[in-house]
Amino acid sequence: MALSTPPLAKLSTQPPVHRQELSPIYFLERAGDIYAERPAVTDGDQRYTWREFRARARRFASELRTDGLKKGDRVAFLAFNSEPLLLAHFAVPMAGGILVAINTRLNPEEIAYIISHSGATRVFVTPELLPQLGAVPPTVQRVVLGPDFEALLARGSEAPLELCLVSEDEPITINYTSGTTGRPKGVVYHHRGAYLNALAMILDHRVQAESRYLWTLPMFHCNGWCFTWGLAAVGAESVCIPKIEPGPTWQLFDAGVTHFCAAPTVCTMLVADPAAHRLERPVRLFTAGAPPSPTLIARMADLNFQLDHVYGLTEVYGPFTINVPSPGMGALPAEQQAQLRARQGMPNVCAGEVRVVDDAMNDVAMDGATMGEVVMRGNVVMTGYFEDAEATDRAFFGGWFHSGDLGVHHPDGSIELRDRAKDIIISGGENISTIEVEQAVVSHPAVMECAVIAVPDPKWGEVPKAFVTLKPGASVTAEELVAHCRTRLANFKLPRHIEFCALPKTSTGKIQKFMLRDKEWKGRDRRIN
C-alpha cells in the first residue's frame, strides 16, 4: 500500500470536542506529568525519569522538524535495545514521521533494501552496527548514537509540539518481515492499532507503575509487541539490555525485574543456564514465537515464572491472542495445566476476532481436532503491506487477514496451533503436525530444544526428521529418543531421522526451519500448502 498525506486544509480543521484521535504519543505526554519523577528508563549507567524522557522526546522531535522532516517521512533506526530506540518510538511520530526499526541481524544488502524500499532518508545507528550500512547509499543521512545523537538532542526544544495527526488510521511505523521467502514486506502499523494493542499488552501482562520491564524482546520486532508505548501508559520502568546473556539476565531477575517477554527458545536458554534457580519473587513472562511445549511451561513454573502464552504475527502488532486460564485450572495436575497453557487462547481485549476456517472460508468444527487456517480481523491488523497492493490483497482475501498458520478450535472457544501451512508434513496421505512431534521429543529429560521438518522419503513422500539440541552434559541416543516418543505418538508420526546439532535462529529466538528445510530438500521439489 502507498502512504497518503492529508491535504493541508484538513490539517487546520478544528477537531471535534467529543473526540481525540487515538495515538500512543499521548501516553508519553501524560506520563511526563503524572509520573514525572518516577524512573522511566535505565540503560546501563544512564537513568531518566518520565519528565526527563518526555523532554528528550520533544527535543528529538523538534530537531527532526527543524532538520526538514515532513509529515509522512520515514526515519530508520538500526539499533540494539537502548534508550534512543525507545525514544524514537515517541519522537519520530511526534514530529510527524514514520519509524522504521530494522532487524540488527540482517546483512548489509537486506538493510539497504529496507532503507531503499521504505524511502527513509536518514538512519540512526548503534556504533557497532555501522559496518552493516555499507551497502546504503551515501545520500542517506547517518546519525551515530552516542555523542552525535546527544548533540542533536541538545539543539532541540523541550516545548510541547503541536501534533499534525489528522486521523488515527495514519501510519506510525513500518515493520519489515523476516523475508525468509523472497524480499521482506513492509507491514504498516497505524496510530490506532498501536494505541489499542499497547493498552491490551499492559492489561494482560498486569504491568503497573511499580513494574520494571526487562527488554529481552528486541524493540525492532513488532515495535517490541507495543510495550515500547504501553509502559508509558502506566509509568512503568524500562530496563534496556543490548542482548540476552543468561547469567546477567538472572542477576537482573534477582535485582527486581518484574516482567519480560521472550520466545520459547530464549526461555529454554535461560532454564538451561547454570545460573538458573527458583526466584524469591515471581516474575511475569509473555512467551510467543512458537508454541511452548508443556515441558518448558512446567519448568518455568518451577522456577517461579508466571507464564502467559500469547500468539500473533508481525501483521497483527505481535500478540493477537492470549491464553487466559479458566477458573479452576489451578487445581488441575501440573502436567494438565501445562498442556492447557500451551494453547494460543482467545483474542486480547482490544484485538478483534479470530476464526479457524477451511479453504472455502467456512468455520471448522469446534472439536479441537479439525484443522483449518487461523484468520483474524479487527483493531490490531495492519493497514497493509507498504507499496505492495498485490500481497495486501492476498493477505486480506475474504475480508480477513490470513495468517498461514494451521490450528484447531476447541469447544471452549480457544484456538490451538498445529503448524504453519508450509510446515505440515503429509506422509503417505496422513497429516503430521511438527509441533506435536516436537513436543514429544522435548519431553525427554535430556533434550533442550528441537525442530521437526518434513524430509523426502521414497516410500511415503515425506517423513518427520528431528533436529535436536541436548542439555549441557546430557546424552541420549536416537534410538532411545524414538522409543520415548513411541509412548506419546502414533507410529506414523515418529521421527524417522534424528540429527543432534545447534539450531539456526533469528534475532528474536525463532528457529529458522527454512534453513533446515533448504538443506534437506536441495535439488528437489516440495509442495508448499
Q: Where are the domains of the chain?
A: 20-205, 244-420, 425-520
Q: Which CATH architecture has domain 20-205?
A: 3-Layer(aba) Sandwich (3.40)
Q: For residue 126, give every residue at least 6 positions away whose Cβ sits within 8 Å of its Cβ, in sequence order, or none.
A: 78, 79, 80, 82, 104, 145, 242
Strand ranges across the sheet with 171-176: 141-144, 122-125, 74-78, 98-101, 171-176, 186-190, 384-385
pLDDT at 231: 98
At 433 the pLDDT is: 81
Supply the pLDDT for residue 114. Answer: 96
Which of 515, 455, 434, 446 is closest to 478 using CA atoms?
A: 446
Q: What pTM did the predictor assign?
A: 0.83
Residue 369 is predicted with a pLDDT of: 92
> Is residue 488 exposed (0-12), middle (13-18) or buried (19+ Cβ within 10 Å)?
middle
Grid coordinates given for 373: 487456517
CATH fold label, 425-520: GMP Synthetase; Chain A, domain 3 (3.30.300)
Q: What is the pLDDT of residue 528?
A: 43
Q: 20-205 and 244-420: same fold? A: yes
| Contact present, 311 and 344 (Cβ < 8 Å) | yes
| pLDDT, position 4 | 59
Which three three-digit cell numbers place residue 501?
Answer: 546439532
For the record, the C-alpha cell of 364 comes out as: 471448522
Q: Where are the alpha helices (DSSP H) in 443-512?
A: 478-486
Binned average pLDDT, 10 residues per bin, the chain of 529 residues: 56 74 97 98 97 98 97 98 98 98 91 97 97 96 97 97 94 84 87 98 97 96 97 98 95 98 89 95 90 84 94 95 86 81 92 96 96 96 97 96 94 89 78 86 94 89 94 95 91 93 82 88 62
The pLDDT score that the predictor gives to residue 338 is 77
Q: How far apart are CA 427 and CA 335, in angstroms?
A: 30
Measured distance CA(252)–CA(447) in Å, rounded: 27
Domain 244-420 part of CATH 3.40.50.12780:
yes
Q: What is the pLDDT of residue 182?
A: 65
Specify the pLDDT at position 529: 36
Q: What is the pLDDT of residue 176?
A: 96
* Cβ proximity of 198 and 27 under 8 Å: yes
